[in-house]
Structure 1
């Protein structure tokens, strides 16, 4: 395939933020004295806040508790960003530089909201690197629905067969598959399953390897 456009997931793909979210969830649950099972976070990696609030509303006894839990979680995340704990994933800068050099269009399509995406990009000095962002503000349904990736591809105007989605999560992979856009998985917290291996175009260890893959396909 000749790569003309790249759609980036954000959390867990561009930034080592899934770990921060997980730690923030644990801290929020402890502060509220709520039970937090080991698999709660893993099952919703890449999903939208609406899905999280619905689930935690059922798990924690109601929507008010779920909203408080999410608010405390984001307070923890904001504090972590202020402490400089948000780290870019290995190879991100090299990949972005190569895409710019080759004039390959890039865009973010994230289940997060634009204000939070902006906070992350500002904290890592990447605001100017992404002229277009598609977020949960822009679509009716988050991943694993295809809405985010379909809108992102339409925005950059590249054919599906010449576009790559970069993801780390199962929900993101399912969304890419539903949109008909090839997807490369760079694993983060969850290791690839047989399903991941069947649906992904490639499973690569880091964004340096993604850059090298695109070099061979542009």
Structure 2
């Protein structure tokens, strides 16, 4: 496929932020003396905060506890960003440079909110590189619903089969499939499952490999 547009997930794909979220969740749970299983985090990688909070309302049994948990988590994330702990994923700069050289359009479609996306891009000096950003502020449902990717595709104006979604999660892959857009998985915290291997266009080790894939199909 000759790629005309690329839609980036953000957390775990562009930035090594899933680890920061996980560590922040653990710290919040310890501070509040709440039970917190690894499974809680893993099942919602790539999903929206609404889905996460709905689960926590049932798990924690209190809306006030959920709100406090999220507040403590976000404060920990803000502190980590302030202390320079947010790192780009290997190959991100090189991929973005290649896309710019080839005039290939790009967008971010993230289950996060615009304020947090802006914080991440500003902290990594990337705010000017993504004029098109679709966030949970823009759609009714997050991943695995296709809303984010459909909106990003419309904004880019590229054909679905010449557009590439880059994701790290099953929720993101399912969303891309539902939107009718080919998806490459670059794994982060979760190893690719058999379902991901069967349904993704490809599974690649890093964004360097994605750049080389796009080059080879130019």
- How does the TM-score come out when normalised to structure 2? 0.99
Per-residue CA deviations over 1:135-171 (Å, capped at 9, x if unaligned) read 0000000000000000000000000000000000010
Counterpart of 2:4 in structure 1 is: 4
Counterpart of 2:212 in structure 1 is: 212
Counterpart of 1:41 in structure 2 is: 41
* SS in structure 2 of the partner of residue 41 of structure 1: helix
Counterpart of 2:168 in structure 1 is: 168
Q: Displacement, 1:62?
A: 1.9
Counterpart of 2:53 in structure 1 is: 53
Contact 1:7 1:164 in 2 (8 A): yes
Counterpart of 1:29 in structure 2 is: 29
Per-residue CA deviations over 1:169-196 (Å, capped at 9, x if unaligned) read 0100000011110000000000001100
Contact 1:54 1:63 in 2 (8 A): no
Q: Report which stretch shifted further, 94-103 or 33-42.
A: 33-42
Counterpart of 1:125 in structure 2 is: 125
Following superposition of structure 1 onto structure 2, how do residues 194-209 of structure 1 map, counting pairs within 5 Å? 194-209=194-209
Counterpart of 1:94 in structure 2 is: 94
Q: Displacement, 1:68?
A: 1.0
- Runs of 4 or more, structure 1, over 6 Å off, are none
Gaps of 5+ in 2: none
Following superposition of structure 1 onto structure 2, how do residues 87-166 of structure 1 map, counting pairs within 5 Å? 87-166=87-166
Q: Displacement, 1:67?
A: 1.3
**Distance in 2 between residues matched to 1:153 and 1:38, nearest whole Å:** 33
Per-residue CA deviations over 1:63-110 (Å, capped at 9, x if unaligned) read 221111111100000000001000000000000000000000000000
**RMSD (CA atoms):** 0.5
Q: How many residues are treated as equivalent by the alignment?
A: 218
* SS in structure 2 of the partner of residue 103 of structure 1: coil
**Distance in 2 between residues matched to 1:175 and 1:134, nearest whole Å:** 14
**Distance in 1 between residues matched to 2:12 and 2:146, nearest whole Å:** 19
**Distance in 1 between residues matched to 2:38 and 2:88, nearest whole Å:** 25
**Distance in 1 between residues matched to 2:166 and 2:23, nearest whole Å:** 24
Gaps of 5+ in 1: none
**Distance in 1 between residues matched to 2:33 and 2:170, nearest whole Å:** 30
* SS in structure 2 of the partner of residue 164 of structure 1: strand
Q: Report which stretch shifted further, 56-65 or 129-138.
A: 56-65
